[in-house]
Structure 1
Amino acid sequence: RALIKGKRVILVDDSVVRGTTSTKIKEMILDAGAAEVHFRIASPPTAWPCFYGVDTPQREKLLAATMSEDEMCKHLGVDSLKFISLDGLYRAVGEKDGRNRNVPQYCDACFSGEYPVEPTDMIEKGFEIKAAE
């Protein structure tokens, strides 16, 4: 508590999906006496479900699918919230030019809504995917 009391605290997390964990962590830091809580997220906003093995909920349950960054900040009750950009994420893993939109180097569907293989079975179940541009 003595390390946190009265301080501005910046928390770094890998992602914000539904916001439940972020809210709990923020409350713990405030309860310890922090004056401010700021979040920095090491991924772009997760706005699309993953159909390839990561357990993300339906799109409407993802904060970034229904809220802007400012709205998410207010919803979480933090002083500031910033995400790395999709290009920034690619540069962080060594892709000096960022994301190649024509041939993405990695699956980034949960951030971009662009699925490398169309999840036909999930579409048939009513899941929403991004329309081709």
Structure 2
Amino acid sequence: MPSQPLTEVNPDLLDLAKEYANLERQVIIHCRFHPGLMPLPFIRIWPSTYLKPKGSEESAKLLQAFNISFYPEWQRIEFNRYHFFTLVFEGLPKDCTSFDLIEEIPEPGGFFFPNIKRNESDIYQVDLK
């Protein structure tokens, strides 16, 4: 019986395929923040921000942020107006049904948004305070 010829796959293509698979699993959170009546409103996000799936020891780390500065830099925002920014995280476990958004920082004022219900698109909108 003739044997099937072996197909060699370029290792770089395999790495690229894995990268694309991970991209599809990313979680995107569009955030809306209102500074209230803060006289000099500034905002930033700490790289230690993560998603914590309910009932799991795993967490999804923050990969990228748009329209918000990373600690230690501050970003000035408009007084008494909404500021919109986007956070991109690693993918969540497949069996995750809800999760918390946690900005764990060594000072008061970290963002916390509990019990976000998982959806099929893994794209969410939250109002942060």
Question: Is TM (by shorter chain) over 0.5?
Answer: no
Name the one with the larger helix percent: 1
TM-score, normalised relative to structure 1: 0.20
- Which protein has the larger Cα radius of gyration, Structure 1 or Structure 2? 2
Name the one with the larger strand percent: 2
Report which structure shows greater RCO (CA 8 Å, sep ≥6).
Answer: 2
TM-score, normalised relative to structure 2: 0.21
